[in-house]
């Protein structure tokens, strides 16, 4: 089997660390791994397959010996460095928002639209974490029932803000237990013991950028701009795993029990749904897992063709790092790298 030189940009961050782990866990055909990060982090060491690998500075010249680069370094870094990487002969799989809505950049979830990697021109975008887990679930239902409308409320973990979000929650919890003032830096309000209906900045229409990402990305990935989508994104004091409450309305008649069977056969999904024994997906139980978990599938009696679904996925894995690695695997499968 052909092997590839792979770079991870932002290798010391929360998502970059997961990318390194997942490349190892899935036995991705790596010839050589190259962790890249900020200049000030050059020389630090990370572990890969039982050996220590030195971190290099991400910049011009760093991509010349690479086949694939997984980017997890933020929108600004991606805008600056992704074109450099492509010019140096490397395919970029970018986890930021920098290129998601660019017309000539595929936005890919391998369980949903793998064929879109075929038209890449050097950069492939990884969707927003909340969009990814939602569409893994909705694609098989859309194929059978044709989705007309989606109402989604997300309950997103602080790791979605990277290491600073995790640190802020931990500091506030310690301060609370020590009866000290809770310092607020990362979020607009305290996150400990709270739910903040505010992720990213507000737009003129009253929705946040995070919410509108779910609208625009869904339309692009499904190649369908006719689906109505109404999102609300909420940050909650959970470290890992995003949860979502989905309400969908379909054009064709939909039955909750039949939908459950469809989902149980779909790739990347596990159904945990037995309310008689309190079985449903829980963020606290699913950290470190790769699937999107589905439960509380039930009929919506307020509309003609509707169901409600509860879904949970690890946002650092399927929501970010795993999906990026799966895109790279898809490129190999289609012989596009």
Same-domain pairing of 99 and 136: no
Mean pLDDT for all residues in the chain = 97
For residue 308, the model assigns a pLDDT of 98
Same-domain pairing of 69 and 141: no
Of the residues 90, 120, 129, 142, only one is catalytic, namely 129
Cβ atoms of 325 and 19 within 8 Å: the answer is yes
Same-domain pairing of 121 and 189: no
Helices then strands, each counted (H, E), the chain: 7, 14
Number of domain units in the chain: 2
Same-domain pairing of 291 and 213: yes
Q: Provide the residue range defining the domain that includes 143.
A: 131-315
Same-domain pairing of 89 and 144: no
Active site residue 241: no
Same-domain pairing of 273 and 137: yes
For the record, the structure tokens of 41 come out as 């982090």
List, for residues 153-174, the tens digit of each pLDDT value.
Answer: 999 999 999 999 999 999 999 9
Same-domain pairing of 272 and 217: yes
Q: Where are the beta strands (DSSP E) in 145-227?
A: 147-156
Same-domain pairing of 159 and 188: yes
For residue 107, the model assigns a pLDDT of 98
Phi-psi region of 10 (alpha: psi -120 to 50; beta: other; left: phi over 0): left
Q: Report how far residue 258's alpha carbon sits from residue 266's, in angstroms, rounded to the nearest whole number.
A: 13
Same-domain pairing of 8 and 70: yes
Same-domain pairing of 149 and 286: yes
List, for residues 254-292, the tens digit of each pLDDT value.
Answer: 999 999 999 999 999 999 999 999 999 999 999 999 999
Q: Give 3's pLDDT tier (boundaries 50, 70, 90).
A: very high
Active site residue 242: yes
Q: Give 12's pLDDT tier (boundaries 50, 70, 90).
A: very high
Same-domain pairing of 123 and 135: no
- Has this prediction a pTM greater than 0.75? yes
Domain of 113, CATH number, reads: 3.40.50.720
Same-domain pairing of 220 and 281: yes
Provide Rg for the chain, Cα atoms. Answer: 20
Mention every residue, 6+ apart, whose C-beta is less than 8 A from residue 218: 131, 134, 135, 138, 150, 227, 229
Domain of 200, CATH number, reads: 3.30.360.10
For residue 1, the model assigns a pLDDT of 81
């Amino acid at each position: 089997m052909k092997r590839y030189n792979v770079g991870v940009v932002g290798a010391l961050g929360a998502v970059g660390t997961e990318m390194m782990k997942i490349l190892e866990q899935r036995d991705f055909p790596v010839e050589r791994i190259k962790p890249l990060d900020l200049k000030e982090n050059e020389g630090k060491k990370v572990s890969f397959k039982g050996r220590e690998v030195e971190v290099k500075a991400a910049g011009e010249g760093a991509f010349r010996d690479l086949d694939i680069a997984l980017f997890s370094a933020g929108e600004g870094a991606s805008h600056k460095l992704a074109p450099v990487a492509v010019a140096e002969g490397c395919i970029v799989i970018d986890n930021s928002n920098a290129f998601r809505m660019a017309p000539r950049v595929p936005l890919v979830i391998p369980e949903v639209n793998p064929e879109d990697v075929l038209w890449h021109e050097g950069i492939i975008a990884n969707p927003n974490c909340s969009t990814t887990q939602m569409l893994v679930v909705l694609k098989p239902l859309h194929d059978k029932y044709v989705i007309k409308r989606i109402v989604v409320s997300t309950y997103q973990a602080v790791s979605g803000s990277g290491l600073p979000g995790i640190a802020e929650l931990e500091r506030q919890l310690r301060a609370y237990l020590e009866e000290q003032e809770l310092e607020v830096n990362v979020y607009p309000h305290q996150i400990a013991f709270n739910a903040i209906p505010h992720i990213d900045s507000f737009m003129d229409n009253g929705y946040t950028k995070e919410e509108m990402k779910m609208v625009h990305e869904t339309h692009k990935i499904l190649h369908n701009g006719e689906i109505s989508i109404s999102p609300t994104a909420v940050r909650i004091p959970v470290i890992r795993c995003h949860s979502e409450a989905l309400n969908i309305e379909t054009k064709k008649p939909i039955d909750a029990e039949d939908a459950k069977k469809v989902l149980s056969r779909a790739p990347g999904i596990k159904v945990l749904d037995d309310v008689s024994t309190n079985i449903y997906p829980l963020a606290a139980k699913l950290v470190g897992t790769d699937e999107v978990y589905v439960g509380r599938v039930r009929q919506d009696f307020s509309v003609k063709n509707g169901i409600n679904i509860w879904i949970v996925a690890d946002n650092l894995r399927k929501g970010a790092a795993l999906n990026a690695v799966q895109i790279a695997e898809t490129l190999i499968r289609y012989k596009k790298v």
